[in-house]
Amino acid sequence: MFGRRRFTSLLGRQADFLWNPWLLGLFLLTGTVLTVGSGFFPLRHFRLWWRETAGRLLHPGKGQSSGGISSLQALATALASTIGTGSIAGVAMAIYLGGPGAVFWMWVSALLGMSTSCVEKLLSVQYHRPAPGGGWQGGPMFYLRDGLHAPKLAVWFALACLPAALAGGDLVQSASIASALEEAFGWDRLPVGLGTALLAGIVLVGGMGRVARVAVRLVPAMALLYLGGGALVLAVRAEALPRTFALIFSCALDPDAALGGGGGYALSAALRHGVARGVFTNEAGLGTSAMAHGAAQTDHPARQGMWGMFEVFVSTLLVCTVTALVILVSGVYDPEAALSQLRSGTVPDAALGVPLTARAFATVLGPAGEWVVALSLLLFAFSSILGWSCYGQQGLRFLTGGDRFCPLYRAVFLGGIVLGAVSDVSGLWALVDVCSALMALPNLLALLLLSPRALALLRDWSGRT
């Protein structure tokens, strides 16, 4: 036990060293370079990318060719992993640790991340290759190898992806489901793990195609449930919205003045937790969701880039923003009281993560609000399991050159669901952070070095559209 704590502590220190501030700064730098290099495409061409994404939702087959999953299915598969428990628990944690100003920096991170996500998905389709058994496969491994001509970095990315998928996309998500059902209904964790593994296995045995078909139905349903509940809370507390937005901006730019000059959250804390939440929620620059989009068949790589921007919009600027606003308008979070608790080291469990979000929904919706959060958490976690299962399989396929080890991988992945349900996996978050950093480093390097090629493709397509 002592050795495990030391190992977890070592991983935690390594994760902190990699992420704060170096890697978070690299995410912002990459987003800034691509945003400026594209001529502020997400803002200047809002009508174009909105028409190519939201405008096509009623006609999902338009602009597609046979041989791969559709752009909409690729988006749903990517959102299945990005709209995870962090959209509920992570946002609440960011606000509590970084103050209301963290929401502002989350927005900044997302706005810059839209260009990053666009280029990432564009390159993933540009360099995708036929997959064993039909369809397409793409992602950072392929544009690192074939675009940047850096096969060692491609292997690096794939190697880091495997433990990230098994730990963060499997064990941790399963633990969230089991914990939520145990707390709500007193259900035993082992049967929950076995049931979750059975449901996931039915989907996973069909490969990326079946995951995409399930995701395209599951993601809209879970998003509408959560966003609908949040919209009701915000409608009832609409008079508090102007004060809430003022608090967000004032805490981001002048924390001391925002809290009455009595010493507010440090600006660095708001920046660090806000940027981190944006990065971890939309995964723009991490490279994982690009693997889902790399399986899409479309008539031009830049068209898939539009769905990359839409993905960031939905996962961060919509879902995470609803979570943040509900918490801030509900009155369950007091910035000065939270800051006092942090400084004294007396932070109650109910003040963090899911409990804070659930209490915020319940202020208007009563017990139904807690049910909305609980059910959303279950759906978000299960969808993350499906999405991440594909990412790990893609990494393994790239390393081995085929699908011969995929049955073994699926068996290990499903076993991890059961293991996560009955184990204490809190220490795995440090491993997930380290693996995410190791994936992000080569991916961000590729995005920067391949940006002239990617932005030229974007300009060519937008000029003809």
Checking if the pLDDT of 352 tops 90, the result is no
Checking if the pLDDT of 209 tops 80, the result is yes
Q: Is the pTM of this model over 0.75?
A: yes
Tell me the sheet residues that pair with 304. none
Q: Is 281 inside any structural domain?
A: yes
Q: Is 30 inside any structural domain?
A: no
Checking if the pLDDT of 1 tops 70, the result is no
Helix (H/G/I), strand (E/B), else coil: 353: helix
Q: Is 16 inside any structural domain?
A: no
pLDDT of residue 128: 94
Binned at pLDDT 50, 70 and 90, residue 260 comes out as: low
Burial class (CB in 10 A: 0-12, 13-18, 19+), 295: buried
Lowest mean pLDDT among 168-172, 173-177, 213-217, 251-255: 251-255
pLDDT of residue 65: 47
pLDDT in tens, 30-61: 999 999 999 999 999 999 999 999 887 766 55
Q: Is 138 inside any structural domain?
A: yes
pLDDT of residue 125: 95
Q: Is 55 inside any structural domain?
A: no
pLDDT of residue 255: 65
pLDDT of residue 64: 47
Bigger pLDDT: 398 vs 182: 398
Checking if the pLDDT of 63 tops 50, the result is no
Beta carbons within 10 angstroms of residue 343's beta carbon: 9
pLDDT in tens, 130-163: 988 778 899 999 999 999 999 999 999 999 999 9
Residue found by looking up tokens 């480093």 in the block: 441
Q: Is 335 inside any structural domain?
A: yes
**Phi–psi pair at 99, nearest 5 degrees:** 85, 170
Q: Give the CATH number of the domain where residue 282 resides.
A: 1.20.1740.10
Binned at pLDDT 50, 70 and 90, residue 4 comes out as: low
CB 98, CB 265: distance < 8 Å: yes
Checking if the pLDDT of 379 tops 80, the result is yes
Count of domains observed in the chain? 1
Q: Is 214 inside any structural domain?
A: yes
pLDDT of residue 7: 67
Q: Is 9 inside any structural domain?
A: no
**Phi–psi pair at 130, nearest 5 degrees:** -60, 140
Which sign, positive or negative, has the C-alpha torsion 93, 329, 81, 148? negative
pLDDT in tens, 12-22: 788 778 887 88
**How far apart, in whole angstroms, are the C-alpha atoms of residue 171 and residue 196?**
12
pLDDT of residue 59: 62
pLDDT in tens, 270-309: 887 788 888 888 888 999 999 999 988 888 999 999 999 9
Which residues form the domain of 165? Answer: 65-464
Checking if the pLDDT of 165 tops 50, the result is yes
